[in-house]
Copies of this chain bind each other. A is one copy, B any other.
């Protein structure tokens, strides 16, 4: 009943979308919003913890007679200066400040950090270019790189984050293939989906390797202010004013429904980003920008972030305790010190994507590890998020998941363990056991 159902447009599509189809797990996820399913899948922040009375009052005021003629109007492509100033204030908590060359003039406001990522790709990536990214990597970034027709080469991580030797190896591999890596895309702090944080020592090491190779670093930092212990980890950008583009978002410190993020970029790059953004969206929403700059100017946002941290720490604890209490032997997981996610490695022989329909039947949802690798590996892993459900629900979710794992293991015992596609992924290597041989294996698209 919806017009054309056969695809008459096949021969007209651009190269980049041929074969582009909706994710095969999307249909499954459409049921995860049902109340009976415990979803450990999504990355939705717990916005109910915001002071919604005050927020609503503020939103009404900025959209009313006093400010409406401005907030409901078009604005500039780079973003409102009042917001760009607040952004600099927020970044200073991560060690990015005027001393290090951060200025409102070099900030571009975007439709969430997702558009920031897309703009960076538009400005730097030609089809066939190589992007280095952690393995696993943020699924939304992989979507952007795929749309840019870039080849993603995953660089292994361990409990301390991206492995410097593996990055150096990857650069060699890419060069040997006659390609050039345009940039490293990294989430160094409270990684999505890895749940790990790049250690202090490695930060400098990674930056030095990048500098030597002339490799641009795209630092994506949505969770930096949501650490559970002490002060925020200084960002990579705080160590280098050039060579690092910093991506931020208000989706986790305020509200994703506003869709506001930003890029801090060297001046020359910033100019290109603004032009690219204008071609894409004309300008960011002036209403959303005013909402956020007003929130950060007039409301106790630092207190609010502290309260978010407490909520997420309690939930992280609930998840880790439940995993320890209930997961079958052979299951491993990361210990996040901030952010939203735990990365779980299944007992041998189990495959997270194959198991998903049975998990959903058992009323628990997660994201299979395969979503976080451009080459479809990662089946031995899955991502659990603890940001949205209550501790009780998290525990119940883990109970259900443990049941599913137990059943799977029993099945494997009966039918044998050689299920297809269940070999352990090479790119998730425990600390200290990095396997250089595995990293030398070129990623698809480089062969």
Binding site for B on A (CB under 8 A): 1-10, 12-17, 20-22, 42-45, 47-48, 50, 52-53, 55-65, 68-75, 101-103, 105-106, 111-112, 114-115, 118, 122-126, 129, 140, 143-144, 146-147, 182-183, 216, 241-242, 251, 255-259, 266-269, 271-272, 274-276, 278-288, 291
Contact = CB atoms under 8 A, between A and B. Distances in A.
A185 to B, nearest CB: 14
Which A-B residue pairs are the 8 nearest by beta carbons? A60-B60, A56-B64, A7-B268, A72-B255, A59-B63, A3-B101, A72-B257, A52-B68
Contacts of A52: 63-65, 68-69
Contacts of A7: 268-269
Contacts of A147: 122, 276, 279-280
28 contacts: A2-B106, A3-B101, A4-B267, A5-B268, A12-B124, A14-B122, A14-B125, A16-B126, A42-B74, A47-B72, A52-B69, A55-B63, A55-B68, A56-B60, A56-B65, A59-B59, A59-B287, A73-B255, A73-B257, A75-B257, A114-B281, A115-B280, A144-B280, A147-B279, A258-B285, A285-B285, A285-B288, A287-B288
A15 B148 CA distance: 12
A198 to B, nearest CB: 23
B266 A284 contact: no
B59 A4 contact: no
A88 to B, nearest CB: 12
Nearest to A33: B76
Contacts of A17: 122-123, 272, 275-276
B64 A281 contact: no
A256 B71 CA distance: 9
A269 B60 contact: no
- Name which of A61, A267, A284 has the most chain B CB atoms within 10 A of its CB: A267
A22 B72 contact: no
Contact of A61 (B3, B60, B123): B60
- Name which of A20, A125, A146, A272 has the most chain B CB atoms within 10 A of its CB: A272
A150 to B, nearest CB: 10
B279 A8 contact: no
Contacts of A44: 73-74
A115 B281 contact: yes
Nearest to A121: B14
A124 to B, nearest CB: 6
A438 to B, nearest CB: 29
Contacts of A72: 47, 50, 55, 255-258
Given A14-B123, A68-B50, A275 B3 contact: no
Contact of A68 (B45, B47, B123, B284): B47
B4 A266 contact: yes
A280 to B, nearest CB: 5
Contacts of A242: 3-4, 8
A281 B111 contact: yes
Contacts of A144: 279-280
A371 to B, nearest CB: 13
Contacts of A101: 2-3
A278 B290 CA distance: 24
A48 B64 CA distance: 10
A346 to B, nearest CB: 27
Contacts of A274: 22
B64 A280 contact: no
Contact of A140 (B43, B269, B282): B282
Contacts of A43: 74
Contacts of A12: 124, 182-183, 216
A52 B73 CA distance: 13
A284 B279 CA distance: 17
A125 to B, nearest CB: 5
Nearest to A143: B279
A136 B287 CA distance: 31
B268 A112 contact: no
A64 B20 CA distance: 39
